[in-house]
């Protein structure tokens, strides 16, 4: 079984922007979301994937990903996926021997920026950059699938400050 292990952080500054090595534009949507798993379609630049991810809350969960034809992914996004779609730019930053992915959201989630780092094990120790703030790995509203149900533009000031 494929497993994703990642931690997610809010950002406390834009200092990460100086360290970006590349970026990709994502457009993604969800075909299914139930208590056990979500099924996502994503177009990242010119590559399309179908992704199935377990709904376990926390650092570790099952994940499967398959390449699909770009034209079919576009049709799925346009015709079958829940709204709003997730639109974001993913910036890749190398820091402390890890590749950090910083997602800058657009559309209904504009203003939200979070950093993720994938780990080899849940207890892996990582070097924390000064621009990484509060760990929100266990806070569901920061999961992309939740952002389609409760987008950032509807969050209260208190929720945005967490």
Q: Which residues are catalytic?
A: 30
Cα 44 from Cα 116, distance rounded (Å)? 17
| Rg, C-alpha atoms of the chain | 15
Asked if residue 127 lies in contact with residue 96, where contact means CB atoms within 8 angstroms, the answer is yes
Cα 86 from Cα 32, distance rounded (Å)? 14
Cα 59 from Cα 65, distance rounded (Å)? 18
């Amino acid at each position: 079984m494929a497993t994703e292990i990642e931690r997610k952080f809010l950002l406390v500054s834009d200092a990460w922007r100086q360290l970006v090595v590349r970026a990709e534009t994502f457009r993604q949507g969800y075909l299914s979301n139930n208590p056990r798993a979500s099924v996502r379609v994503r177009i990242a630049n010119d590559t399309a994937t179908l992704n199935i991810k377990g709904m376990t809350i926390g650092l570790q969960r099952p994940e499967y990903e398959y390449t699909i034809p770009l034209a079919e992914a576009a049709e799925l996004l346009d015709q079958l996926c829940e709204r709003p779609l997730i639109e974001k730019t993913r910036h890749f930053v190398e820091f402390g021997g890890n590749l950090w992915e910083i997602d800058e959201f657009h559309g209904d989630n504009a203003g939200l920026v979070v950093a993720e780092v994938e780990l080899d094990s849940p207890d892996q120790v990582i070097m924390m950059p000064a621009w990484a703030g509060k760990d929100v790995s266990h806070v569901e509203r920061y999961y992309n699938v939740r952002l389609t149900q409760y987008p950032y533009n509807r969050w209260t000031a208190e929720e945005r400050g967490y």
